[in-house]
Structure 1
């Protein structure tokens, strides 16, 4: 049985006392070494969830536990040792004049010994393929390189949870693929729980579980296959579905009995080949 790492217990949140509720009575669990994608239209509450996990915000109602510890103003700095976050725009996270200074920043704030910092800077930059940019100025890097450095800065503090809050949305398709390949290998090597807040369907289909937010509430919580099997309902709440899901729906309309929900081209071709072999 996997260990619960993050627990949301009847969490509600709004930004002002008189404003609308952004989250309404939200409850879910995330486990050790699990990849969960959180999706939803703009304003659905998904990015607010990320900020609550990291202690950037606190709920007005309900409780959030990280590894059994309640998130509040007294525990927030302990929580941030366990929960690392990478934002949409990496420029907002840079504080150092060089890449190594930037990766060192989080460790300096936590009082890491210098010899530990030197080792972790090189190790985390190696993990994201940026070890040759140690003395580079962050603002001179490409968008994908900046995100790699931002991820390295989070990895250096050895978190248990890595949150990517729309972290690939400013990159081109190739850059997105490269970053997610890097993150996947990091997750496996470091036994991290990975939470992606995303609009990128390629990220969604690779996750183990998907939480769909709609109007501040959990609309569905299931595997990617189960979520995308409800393509019409997803479109109704303003969400896209993968191209292979659209193709499978069209084939079914043509009386081609696609039984399983394919998540990528390979799975769709496998379905068609299986059908062909039965004829």
Structure 2
């Protein structure tokens, strides 16, 4: 077994022979316990990356290595034990008549013994705070609750990597915030690596590293603070920056000196208090 990581080595992909490349010579590594956000406008290739990581698609060129294993049709079931996926629409992921059945489904697929399944169902629902809903019917849950069950189903298989592919896109701001809090707690407790593919800039600020995709290529890579400090370049490729980031720019134009690119309101307020003290 190699080190616990996902590695893309010079990966190129197109959906059909006569179609353009969706990904062109993409290379990056996601290490243990990392939270990496992948952003880019529609058509930049970010969702394709998720499907390649999980073996839903295979590249025409280059290779993808998960835990030292090359992702191939032969290794794909092994890979999926390590890489769990939560999609945009949780309804597409439900198969059971109750929440409990649903969380059990993935484990049954992997042939886990019954005693272990019972234990994992409880642990997984606990960690997403849905233990009270074990006997509920999935379709009666709210959007945010459904996504939590989808996350619990992935957690139950005990992967090392979880991919959230636009998993909060259909939720309202409150549901979105709750899911990100859940994910953040789970990542800390379980020492998982997390890959979030998202449009939500608030989610991006929570990650430890950001990969910006543009035209099927890795356009920029770095901590959120560095990426968001390059607002003009991001705007040029059609990406927005967080409100706090824009606010900081206006304040700088007004002559206030800020010590860093703020990632949230808290940081901006702290900076304003200290800069006021020094002026």
Query: Normalised by the size of structure 1, how large is the TM-score?
Result: 0.98
1:170 equivalent in structure 2: 170
The answer for unaligned runs of 5 or more in structure 1 is: none
Aligned equivalents of 1:192, 1:236: Cα separation in 2:
34
Aligned counterparts, 1:87-106, within 5 A:
87-106=87-106
How many residues align? The count is 277
Contact 1:39 1:197 in 2 (8 A): yes
1:19 equivalent in structure 2: 19
The answer for unaligned runs of 5 or more in structure 2 is: none
- The CA deviation string for residues 190-249 of structure 1, in whole angstroms up to 9 with x for no partner, is 110000000111110010000000010011000000000001111111111011110111
2:143 equivalent in structure 1: 143
Give the CA deviation at 1:183.
Answer: 0.8
Aligned equivalents of 1:28, 1:259: Cα separation in 2:
30
Aligned equivalents of 1:248, 1:182: Cα separation in 2:
29
Contact 1:11 1:27 in 2 (8 A): yes
Aligned equivalents of 2:91, 2:148: Cα separation in 1:
12
Query: Normalised by the size of structure 2, how large is the TM-score?
Result: 0.98
Give the CA deviation at 1:258.
Answer: 2.3
2:218 equivalent in structure 1: 218
Give the CA deviation at 1:90.
Answer: 0.3
Contact 1:4 1:29 in 2 (8 A): no
- The CA deviation string for residues 97-153 of structure 1, in whole angstroms up to 9 with x for no partner, is 111111000111111111111111111011111111111111111000100100000
Aligned equivalents of 2:251, 2:126: Cα separation in 1:
45
Q: Secondary structure at the match of 2:74?
A: coil
Aligned counterparts, 1:208-247, within 5 A:
208-247=208-247
| Aligned residues: CA RMSD | 0.9
2:59 equivalent in structure 1: 59
Structure 1 residue ranges, 4+ long, deviating more than 4 angstroms after superposition:
none
Aligned equivalents of 1:172, 1:209: Cα separation in 2:
25
Aligned equivalents of 1:45, 1:167: Cα separation in 2:
16
1:28 equivalent in structure 2: 28
